Structures are given as structure tokens and as C-alpha cells.
Structure 1
Amino acid sequence: MFQDNPLLAQLKQQLRDNLPKKEGVVRASDRGFGFLETDHRGESYFIAPQQMKRVMHGDRIIAVIRAENGKEQAEPESLVTPFLTRFVARIKVIKDRLFVVPDHPVMKDAIKARPMKGLDEKQFKEGDWVIANLKRHGMSDASGHFAEITEYVTHNNDPEAPWWVVLRRHDLPRCAPDIEQEWQLREEGLTREDLTALPFVTIDGESTRDMDDALYVEKTADGWKMLVAIADPTAYIEPGSALDLEAAKRAFTVYLPGRNIPMIPRHLSDELCSLHEGEERPALCCEMLITAAGELLPEPRFFAANIRSQGRLIYDQLSDWLENGSAEGFDPAPVIVEQIELLHAATTARQTWRKEHAILFKDRPDYDFELNEAGEVVAIHASFRRSANKIVEESMIAANQCAGDFLAAQPGYGIFNVHAGLDVEKFKGVQELLQLHEAPLTDETLLTLPGFCQLRHWLDAQPTSYLDNRIRRFQTYSLMSAEPGPHFGLGLSHYATWTSPIRKYGDMINHRILKAIISQQEVPVRADAALTDALSLSRRSNRMAERDIGDWLYARFLLPAVASQQVFDAEIMDVMRSGLKVRLLENGAVCFIPGSLILKDRKRFVCNHDEGRAYLDGEIHYELGQTIQVKLQDAIEATRTLVAIPTELPSAAAPVTKEVLAESEHELMDELLTEPEETAPEEDEA
């Protein structure tokens, strides 16, 4: 009787309408319950397990806030934005019915699913990897969540699953473009200078096939004249053609451990366009003048040419020759020796100038995975920028700086890499931090390019990298823009890459603009915001894919180190709410150190994310940039995570038992759920 009483129902609704409501994001736990985290820092409300069945981790919802037993709880009322749309999942078969389980640390519940039209339901087996779309959300339908399987990725036991899963997670292609034809040089109305007699050289990795830059240099009265010749795929690819549209969609060549997926067909990238030794190739060139002090003179000359590389140089071999005076199996001809010596002198001067007047990259190593034929990691090699790498780096940065200034002047647009430096909305925090540490510059000058360069130089001179790491949290991310703008991360007024058109679609666009100006033809129209946004998003997806496959391979490769209790040197990358994030210096792996493994008493051991420090009994115990020694405690392939523990622990630390480790994994899950996809802005490299 009471159940069907409309007056009672109306009264209940009125009472509900009078309750406070909050909008926020659902944060699940691996123990059934969750929290609603609002946009107000530190404000969260408990969500009971029964209510969590209606929502998912990451959903943005509006919830009614009820007080029960003196404690406030959130009751989901309406969905604002679902967390899951397109997602990677694994097949689960229950009573001959298909379900999918999202590939996510805490999403363990199976979702009812069916294949889309055209997919055979019988092809799906337990544990297979698939792509699915959420078609129905539990907040909008009492029958619960429902997904449609849109793509089969690979089978359960595929040893190459990490690559296929990561590529499809980020909606990246699995293979080269399937567009082949009899490629012919186009008639572009462009005069090409014959530079085939000049001893251009290429400098690349030993296995590189898509060689896209060659260098030549001459001594002048006050420095050097350098020619940078860049491979010219636009000489073959017609604007608006099927391949051009496909290259625009891909935006970049995808580089992953053990393989790459080219932006254009390999016959073009690795053969016809690649600057192979002894082969005549069309190129777009920049002639620049560098003073003895390393300064670039204005008004570089861009022109089209045909070149023929006369020396294929290998990074490590050339570096050995430059640094030690000889290299095994390397006996270059005198004309190549002359080029090497001139290139080394010119780029050394250039680096010296940039160190004083712009900003140099941190000399951090790259980590290269060595794989066997089965796709298993047999070793991870740390490679630092050596002499040969710096020759190429400085040459490409100079060429891209020239292109940036040239395009900014005419036609006033192109594809620019822009970086705004410090985030204006966070500037007050920067000022307070710098004032606390008595920095020489704390006013609005920091928002200018000269001021930012001065700040970076001061930070580089500090005895530790603690402040550097703190300041990077206040920096913006770099973007790709059609409008000219400075690149604070490089310390340059303009930066427009055109040196990798085989690998980057934005560089192809700049090639076409430069060639139109050279030949006095109609300049292509300015790229719209949709294109530049897509390029920025594609670059970010590529970086995340490289990170994700690396995390997966690290979890596999370092499992034996858990058993052996091998000791690693590690740098503290981040101080989080409940522990530390560190990078192993030997191989680049990122690990999480739960605070409970350091000290169970979290009143004595406190992690302060805002300060980038962890305190023991009120004293600084760890801080950003500090190097410590750690041992691995767990390698979890399911979540692609590594758990570590410092070798030196407080005397009150408890032994690491299975129970303690299990409890620490709850902290790990919490951090995985709140960690941003990108933790610190990175400068763009040439």
C-alpha cells in the first residue's frame, strides 16, 4: 500500500532534492568500495560497495551526499561523463555467454558483451584480447553495463600481445600503410641544384634504414657554412592523395622496442627517400652560417637540390673515433675525415653558444631493449648522447630554428613546436617556491623567454636537482601550433621541425610551405586548429604507447631480479601520497615504493607530494632527485608495475612478509588510479 503511494513517493523525492549534491570523479578501490573526489582539492566522499556497482572508476558523476552514522556518503545520482568508451579488454566466458573484463588495475568485474555485426562470436576464447565500446551504462539502465566487441586483437597466449594490445589501446596502426604504386618524382615546378659532388655524410644508428638527414660543412673566415639536406618525400606524395591522407591520419612513425610502424610505405621511407650512401636523392636543403662563437647568422637560405651521400657514419663508431682517436673497422677517406672534423668543431661551438644563450637538454640516457627472435628482452642498454649524437642534435636544432624564424617571417604560419614555459595559473606557487630558495629572479620576468632561460641556468647550477624537479611541475606542456610562438623549453624564439618528413606529417607540411616559397608558387593554406590538435594528440599517443610497452617489458624482464634481490641505484622521480616513484638508473624502469614498506606507522613517515619530500619523524628523509638504493619486491605483469623497497630502512620498519606486501599493493592500486598519464612536461627533442 505504502509502496504505491504517490504522496509518499513525492515526499521522498522532495527530501532527496533538499540533500546537498556534489559533482566529481569516481575513484574505485580493489576492495569494492570507492570515493567521489570533487574538484575541490582534498574533498572526497565514501561510496559504498553496493552503490559502486552502478558506476565505474573514472566516471564523472553527480551524487547526493547523505549523512549516515555521523559520516557523509555519496550516492550516485546521474552520469556526467563515462570513463569507459572505447577500451581494451579480455574475454571471459560465463555459462557460454561472452563477457569482457577491462584491462585496468581495479576493474575486475565482467561486463556483459556481444560482438558487433560481422564478427563471429565463436572466434572469441577465454582470455583473448579485444577492443570494446561501452554501449550501456549502469547509471542509465537498471540491467547494468553492456559492451559491444568491435575488434579482435590477439589470442590469450600470443608472445607478441604487448605490442598488439598497446598499439590498439592507443588506436595506432599495426603495420605500414598498404598503399603501393610505381612511385615517380612529381613535376613540382621546382629547380633543384646539383650538389651530388659535395661529400655529404649521414650519421645514424647501425640498423637505421630511414635515413632522413645528411650534413656538409665548409670553413669560412669567421666560422662555418653548414648545409643540412633533408629527405624529400613530398617529391613523391601528391597533396590530397590517398597516401597523403593516410600519412596525415597517422601523423608520426611509431617507434616501439623491437619494431617501428612507418608513417609512409617502407619502399618510400627506407628506399626511395632514404639518403643511402652512393645514391642520388632529391632533398630540401638549408644553408646556414655559424660564427666562430656558435651564433646562427640571420637569413638562412632554403633551396631544393639533388645530393649523394658519400659516407654512412654510425653513431657509436664515430663517437669512438672522435673520443679515442680510433674505432674498430673505421678508416674513413680523407675527405670524410675533413667533414667529421669540421662538423665536430661547428656543432661544439653551436652547443657552447646554446648553453649560454638558450637551454640545453639534460644529459639523460636513452634505454634500448634488446630482444631475441621470440620477442623476449635479453638486455636493456643505457645509451648516453655521445659526440656523434651531439653533432646531429645540434645540426637539427639549428636547422629547425632557422625554419621557425623563416616561416614566422613569411608566410607567418607553418607547423611550430611551441612551449609557453611556466603555467600562468600556477605562477604564484612558482614565485613562493623561488622566494623561499632565494632565487635571483622571482617576478613576472620569468614569463618571458629571457627570464625563463635565466631561471633554467640558475637551476642547472644548483647542487641537486630537487628544485629543478619541483619547478617542472609548474611548466606547461609543449604543443603543435600553426601560429609562430616561442619554445621556452629550448630557449628559442621559434622552432619549426622540417628535418624528419619521412616520420612526421607536420614536417611534410613545412616542406610544402618552404618549397612553395622557394619556387614562388601559391603557398598552402594555414593548417586549422583541428589538424594541429590532432598532431599534438598523436604525438602524445605515441609517447604513451612507447611508455606502456616499456612498462610491460620491464615487468617481464625484471621478474628474476625479485628472486635474486639485486640492488639497483634509483632516482626519486616523484613523491606521491602514499609512497615514492623511482627510476632505476641501470635500465630506466619505473618502480613504486609504498610508504608502508618503509614504515608502517604513517604518522612517523609522511609523504608530502606538494613539497616533493618524505619526512621521517619530522626530518627530511627523501626528496625529488635524490639517488637511493633499492631492491625489487614484486613485478606484476597484470598491471605492468614494479614494487621496490629501499635497502636502508628505518630501524622500526617491519619485515616484508606476504601480508605486508599484499597490503602495500592496495597503496599501489590507489596510486595507479590517481597518477596522471603524463607526470612532467618534457622538452621536445630535435
Structure 2
Amino acid sequence: MLKNHPLLLQLKKKFQNKIVTVKKIVKKNIQKFNFFNIEKNKKCQVSSTSIENLLSEGNNITSINIKSNKKVIMPLKLVKTSLKEFVGRIQKKNKKIFIIPEYFFLKESIICECTNDLKNKIQSNDWVLAKLLRYKFKKNKFFVAYIIKIIASKKNPLARWLITLAKYNLDDSAPKVKNYNFIVDSKYNRLDLTKLDFITIDNAFTKDIDDAVYITKNFKNEFVLTIAIADPTSYIPYQSELDTIAKNRGFTNYLPGFNVPMLPKELSENLCSLKPGMCRPALVCMVNISNQGNIIEDSIQFNLAWIKSKEKLIYENVSNWLENIGTWKPQSNVIANQIFLLQSLYKVRRQWRKKHTLIYKEKLEYKFNFSKNGEVIKITGVHRRIAHRIIEESMIIANMCAAGILTKKIGFGIYNVHIGYDILNAAQIICILKRYNILVNIKDICNLTSVIKLNKKLNILNNNYLNNRIRKFQAYSEFSITPKPHFGLGVKYYATWTSPIRKYGDMINHRLLKSIITNTSHLSLKRDVVIKISNCKRKNRMAERDISDWLYISYFKKNVNINDIFKGEIIDIFKAGMRICLINNGANAFVPFYLLNFICSKLVYHKNDGIIYEHNKPLYRVSDIIKVSIIDVKEHEKKIIACPFF
């Protein structure tokens, strides 16, 4: 009757014109249950009937329906999903196997398929790696997964570490290469430096010792520093099976309480480790430094050598001795003289770097102390002491020398670069600094010399709030195959080569330096190497963050009482509330905005300023130190909830 009425057909056509079909990446917005991100800074509401169809990030063909000026998305077709393989915990019910995903947006049990062999081995609460066979979408009423492998049994004390490594597709043990003969490459002529009094300074339990130092003074009263670095590339041919393994791993993965080596332990902890009294192949840098702390560029020499460390020293012992604490002392005057000379070099280089480069205020480093069962029993904040700083300064010298040689001789390598401030935020940086009578322009922000001068002005002001605001606009450090400045250190070029046992990028630089030393053809580098190393570093950091978050939650659950009081620094302010770093243990706590409103009325937050105002007066600012009480520990969300304490 009314079906073909002209007015009704016109109305239908008008309605359909407001429905747009698009192909978009749809990503769940954690803060709002039924809002999803479809583009940067653009959100859409999801119809209530479609929520379950968009549990994870996925490429979907969707219709965007405009209702009352609000965009509402209706999934039409799933093109692909980012959730392919995932980690989960097993449940057995009525002879069927289900998996509960370790995934924030997917909380329902998923029915599983697996081989008969795995079916017999798997127990309830074991952890497994699985892949999705069928996605819950449209006619498919439920998910179906296939179990790939068992990650850890429910009783394994390292289960959380293994789960996290599997989540990011990272290795969980040292490489094992069958029938591999570790024979040092004999084609190089090496200097015999075994009679020099090299020493190593490391942690008490370090086995992969990769650097040794020897220092003396010449007739000009200049420091003559010799840095010897372990040489794993003398055992690992380029593009060999083991080289490919190291390339794929990128780094030794240092997690709290659990390390995964990049190289086989036979190399990293034995043949390459610079153990005392053992003759080892090394790549050596010799450099003179003036009494004013200047590196004498013409003196820099790189050589291949044999070295023999005279003694392994411990950071804590050396620091105690230099600070007149305890009873430990070096075994001989020769070793004592090495320590004193290294300390003298550290002092002059520190002063030189304060004047010519950048040195940022050191922060506390937090250490988890574990029981035999792998539980955190204590979290301590520690400052790096004098022995750490001595070795760090020597390694900075070595890396600056390597960067200079690589740039001068071949023009490329694996460089650590930092572009300083993000140029996209230049206007905001200039505006913030102007409030403190510091006048800069865009060129100043992009120029290394100008940035060094700027940071010296900021150091004189010693304003924690201003430093926090400016630091927020800093870019992240990167890797590059072409030489670029490192604004974070305030140096023209910087290329690390001092940890080849632990970093594949350092192994590449070793091979390039060897080609310079021997005047032979060098390997070519492509950008994909840098991308691969960067991705490895990113995944390692995410795994470390996840483990740290879990350890903090576990520790607070067992050892911290509700209403316990802590001091914390406000590190971020946003719409939902404030993020606080607890000073005595390094844990991040969250103060929801509704708790602040409960205490104080008429609060207004300014994200760009990092300030919460009450009646137009600043109440809280980033960098403020405040007291908070712990009111809840949310294990599933990995959140410690706190409230300001008055």
C-alpha cells in the first residue's frame, strides 16, 4: 500500500544517503566501553548489537550511520584481524578443552582443537599458545582456536615470564646450535696485549663479561686509555646460522629476574667472556685524553688483539673502597693504581661533558629482590655509584671514538641517534619557554649547539615542572645507518660497539671496524637491518614493562595494606585522572579524577599545562611530590588505585 508511496521512497533515499560504507582499522578505546577508534583522534560509537563483533583491532568494512550528529558504526564484513595467535589458560569441561585468552578485550572461553598428543598432556590452568581458526562474526556464533604448543604448566614458577615472552613472540632460552665448532677465526694478525694490566668491573654474578680497561699516562701527562671488547664475530661468520639467530634476536633480553641471551652460553659466558687469567680475542680501542678531558682525535687507534684480564672486580667493592666503606681492598698496588687512574679520568671527562655536552640528572633505578620461589620480597631504589660511572664514562669515550672512525672512513654504521625535540611540537615548546623568559626559535630547537645551551639554562633554573613539560616533547632515540647527532647525549655522532655479546648492532659495528683495520671490503647495510633491530628492542621493552607491571601488582597484593601511605611524583595528568610514580619502589599508581572531585569540588584539568585547577588556582601539577594512600589493587587491569592523602 504505502510501500511505493513517492514520499516514503524519497525519505528512504535520504536516509540511505547518510550511510557511508568504508574500510577502516577499528580499534577498541579502553577508556570508553562502546567507543572505538577508526582514525587518529576520531572515534565512533558502536551499536550495542555489534560490540562483540569488534573485540580486537581489525580491518573491517563498516557502515557509518549518522544519528543525531553522532557516528555509529555497523560492522558488515571482517577483512582481517590483528588477533591471530594469542596466549591463554586452559580449562577442561565435559571432556572439552577451552582457552581463556590473556587478552584485555576478549574475556570469554574459546573452544579449542589440538592434536591427540597435546590433548593428553594438557591440564587445566596450563598456559598455551593458540591461533584463531574461526572469528566470531555474523553467522559464526562463537570463536574456535587451535592449540599450537604448551608454554608453561600451572606449577611452573617462571610461568609469567614464559607467557609474556610468548605473547610478544620472543625466545625464552639461549640459542642451541647442534654440531657447531666454535673456532676462533685465525685469518687476522692480532697484537699481543696479554701483559697489560687489564681489569674488568662488573656485577658479582655477571658471567658474560664483554669489556675490560687498561689505563696509563704518557710523557705529556695525558691519559692513555685502552678499551678491550670481547670479539664474538671472530667465532661467528657473517650470514651463518648463528649470525642469523643473533640478528633475529637483536639483543640479550634482560627481564626482571630472568635473562634470555642473544648468543649461546658457550660463547657469551665462556669463550668470549673476558674472564680473569684467560687469553681472549678482542677488538681494542686506544685513545689519549688530555688533563682537560679532550679526546685527542689523532691518537685514536683500533686494533685486533689478544688480551688477558688480570682481575674481575665487583662494582660494589670498588665503590666502597673509593668511598672508604668496608674492609675490601685491591689485591695489589697495580690494580689499585688502575682504579685511581680510571677515577681521575672519570672526573676530568665528567667536567668536560658538563661544559660541552649534556648530562641529565640521574634517576633512581629500581631493583626487584626475589625469593627462591620467584616471588618479589622487596623492591629497592638504588643510585649508580662511582664504579658504575667510571666504566660508563670509559664506554662513552669508546663509542664516540667508534662513531668518529666509522663516519670518517666509510660514512655509515649502526648509529644511536636522537633528534632532540619533536619539530611538530615546536610552537608549544617555544610558548612554554617564553613564559620563563627563554626565547628560542625553530632553528634553535633543531640545532645541537643551541639545544646544549638551552639545556644548560634549564639546569640553572632547576625547575622540575618546566623540565617535565619540555621533556614531554622530546623524541625517542633511534637507530640509523647514516651518521646523525645524538641530542640526548649532546654529541655529534654516537655508535655503540662495546656490547657485542648482547647487541646485534654492536656485532655489525665490529665487522665494519675490522674491515677498516684490515683495509678489506666491508659489508653493505640496508635500512631493513635498522628496522629489525628497532622492532626487537621495542618488543623487549614491552615484555619488560609487562613483567614489571605484573611484579608490582603481585607485590602490592601480598605486601601492601589498603590505606598504606606513600610519597609519589605526579608524572602525568589527563582527563581520567593522574599517574603517580611512588618514590620508594618505582610503582605507577593511578588517581582517578572522580576521587579528586570527591575531595575538592569544581576541578578543571589542563592536559597541555599538566595542571589541575581548583577555582582557577593550581591544585596539582606534574612533578609535584604528594602523599597518596593505596585504596585498591586491580589485578586484571594491572592498576594500583590511589587517593591523595591529607
TM-score by length of 2: 0.92
1:534 aligns with 2:535: no
Note closer, same or farther for the CA distance 1:312–1:13 as it changes in structure 2 (3 Å cut).
Answer: farther
Amino acid at match of 1:319: S
Of structures 1 and 2, the one with the larger relative CO (CA 8 A, separation 6+) is: 1
Aligned to 2:19: 19
Matches of 1:646 and 1:147, distance apart in 2: 45
Task: Name the counterpart of 1:301.
Answer: 301
Work out whether residues 562 and 634 of structure 1, in 8 Å CA contact, stay in contact via their aligned partners in 2: no
Q: What per-residue deviation string (whole Å, max 9, x for no partner) do you get for residues 56-112 of structure 1? A: 144465643435578653333455763423322233456544443332334323344
Say whether the 8 Å CA contact 2:562–2:632 is kept in structure 1: no
User: Does the CA-based 8 Å contact 1:464-1:625 persist in structure 2?
Assistant: no
Contact 1:24 1:36 in 2 (8 A): no
1:349-360 equivalences in 2 (<5 Å): 349-360=348-359
C-alpha contact (below 8 Å) 2:19/2:66 kept by paired residues: no
SS at match of 1:389: helix
**Does the aligned pair in 2 maintain the 1:197–1:308 contact within 8 Å?**
yes
Task: Give CA deviations for 1:234-259 in whole Å, capped at 9, x if unaligned.
Answer: 11112222211111111111111222
The one-letter code matched in structure 2 to 1:27 is K
Aligned to 2:533, the other structure's residue is in SS state: helix
Q: Secondary structure at the match of 1:87?
A: strand
Give the aligned residue type for 2:233. Answer: T
Query: Counterpart of 1:485?
Result: 484
Deviates more, 1:217-226 or 1:480-489: 217-226
AA partner of residue 404 (structure 2) = D
CA contact (8 A) 2:357 2:490 kept: yes
Partner of residue 426, structure 1: 425
Tell me the equivalent position of 1:628: 626
Task: Tell me the residue number matched to 2:320.
Answer: 320
Q: Does 1:191 align with 2:192?
A: no
Deviations 1:612-654 (A, max 9, x none): 2222333212222221122222223333332222222xxxxxx
Q: Could you tell me which amino acid in structure 2 is paired with residue 458 of structure 1?
A: K
Q: For 1:575, which of 573, 580, 584 is the aligned residue?
A: 573
Please state how far the C-alpha of 1:373 moved relative to its aligned partner.
Answer: 1.5
Partner of 1:671: none
In the alignment, which residue of structure 2 is the partner of 1:466?
465
Letter in 2 for 1:414: G
Q: State which of 144, 147, 152 in structure 2 corresponds to 1:149.
A: 147
Taking structure 1 as reference, are residues 186 and 274 closer, same or farther at Cα in structure 2, changes over 3 Å only?
closer
- Whether the aligned pair in 1 keeps the contact of 2:62 and 2:74 (CA below 8 Å) is yes
Partners of 2:31 and 2:522 in 1: how far apart?
56
Paired residue secondary structure (1:606): strand
- Structure 1 residues 46, 210: CA separation in 2 closer, same or farther (over 3 Å shift)? same
Structure 1 residues 130 and 49: alpha-carbon distance in aligned structure 2, compared to 1, 3 A threshold: farther
Give the letter aligned to residue 304 of structure 1.
L
Matched, 1:159 2:157: yes
> In structure 2, the residue corresponding to 1:630 is in which secondary structure?
strand
| Aligned partners of 2:562 and 2:631 also within 8 Å | no
Q: How does 1:37-52 map to 2 (within 5 A)?
A: 37-39=37-39, 41=41, 43-52=42-51
CA contact (8 A) 2:58 2:81 kept: yes
Name the amino acid aligned to 1:216: Y
CA distance in 2, matches of 1:2, 1:218: 101
Are residue 373 (structure 1) and residue 372 (structure 2) matched?
yes
Greater mean deviation of Cα atoms: 153-162 or 368-377? 153-162
Q: What amino acid maps onto 2:602 in structure 1?
A: R
Judged with a 3 Å threshold, the aligned counterparts in structure 2 of structure 1 residues 225 and 70 are, in CA distance, closer, same or farther, namely closer
Report the 3-state secondary structure (helix = DSSP H, G, I; strand = E; otherwise coil) of the residue aligned with 2:295. Answer: coil
Identity of aligned pairs, percent? 35
Distance change (3 Å), C-alpha of 1:347 and 1:89: same
**TM-aligned CA deviation for residue 380 of structure 1:** 1.7
Q: CA deviation at 1:338?
A: 0.9
Contact 2:18 2:65 survives alignment (8 Å): no
> 1:507, 1:291 → 2: CA distance?
27
Over residues 419-463 of structure 1, what are the superposed CA-to-partner deviations in whole Å (9 max), with x where a residue is unaligned? 111222222222222223332423322111112222222333333
Paired position in structure 2 for 1:658: none
Segments of 5+ residues of structure 1 without an aligned counterpart are 649-686
Match of 2:550 in 1: 552
Change (3 A) 1:432 1:140: farther
Q: Match for 2:604 among 583, 603, 606?
A: 606
Separation of aligned partners in 1, 2:253 and 2:25 = 35
Residue aligning to 1:396? 395
Q: Aligned equivalents of 2:307 and 2:136: distance in 1?
A: 63
| 1:276 maps to 2:270 | no
Stretch deviating more after TM superposition (59-68 or 431-440): 59-68
Summarize the Cα distance change of 1:79–1:437 in structure 2 as closer, same or farther, 3 Å threshold.
Answer: farther
Distance of aligned partners of 1:48 and 1:608 in 2 relative to their CA distance in 1, 3 Å threshold = farther
Whole-angstrom distance in 1 between the partners of 2:203 and 2:284: 22
Q: Distance in 2 between matches of 1:59 and 1:342?
A: 59
Change (3 A) 1:9 1:540: farther
Check the 8 A contact 1:215/1:228 in 2, yes or no: yes
Please give the alpha-carbon distance, in whole angstroms, between the structure 1 residues aligned to 2:12 and 2:205: 71
* CA 506–454 in structure 1, closer or farther in 2 if over 3 Å, else same: same
- CA distance in 2 between counterparts of 1:71 and 1:516 reads 63
Q: Find 1:618's aligned residue among 595, 616, 619.
A: 616
- Structure 1 residues 591 and 105 mapped into 2: Cα distance closer, same or farther (>3 Å)? farther
1:539 CA displacement: 1.0
Deviation of 1:534 after TM superposition, in Å, equals: 0.7
Q: Contact conserved, 2:600 with 2:614, CA < 8 A, in 1? A: no
Q: Which amino acid aligns with 1:311?
A: E
What secondary structure sits across from 1:369 in the alignment? strand
Cross-structure match for 2:291: 292
Code of the residue aligned with 1:19 in structure 2: it is I
Q: Aligned-residue CA RMSD in angstroms?
A: 2.9
In structure 2, the CA distance between the partners of 1:614 and 1:59, relative to structure 1 (3 Å rule), is farther
Letter in 1 for 2:620: Y
More displaced, 629-638 or 141-150? 141-150
Supply the distance in 2 between the matched residues of 1:65 and 1:522 (Cα, whole angstroms): 58
- Check conservation: 1:371, 1:379, Cα contact below 8 A: yes
Query: Which of 170, 173, 176 pairs up with 1:172?
Result: 170
Q: Give CA-to-partner distance per residue, 1:10-35, whole Å, 9 cap, x none.
A: 9979844532567564435699x410
Question: Does the CA-based 8 Å contact 1:596-1:602 persist in structure 2?
Answer: no
User: Does the C-alpha gap of structure 1 residues 63 and 614 become closer, same or farther in structure 2, counting only changes over 3 Å?
Assistant: farther
What is the CA deviation profile of residues 482-529 of structure 1, one whole-angstrom value per residue up to 9, with x for unaligned ones? 22211111111111110000111111111111112111222122x222
CA contact (8 A) 2:28 2:54 kept: no
Shift, 1:144, TM fit: 5.0
Q: Measure, in 1, the Cα distance between the counterparts of 2:603 and 2:330.
A: 59
Superposition map of 1:503-518 within 5 A: 503-518=502-517
| CA distance 1:521–1:613, change in 2 (3 Å) | same
Residues 347, 394 of structure 1: 8 Å contact kept: yes
* Residues in 1 aligned to 2:446 and 2:482: alpha-carbon distance in whole angstroms: 19
CA distance in 2, matches of 1:427, 1:136: 47
Paired with 1:570 and 1:218, the residues of 2 have a C-alpha distance of: 46
Segment of structure 1 superposing worse, 214-223 or 10-19? 10-19
Q: Matched residues in 2 for 1:471 and 1:522: separation?
A: 45
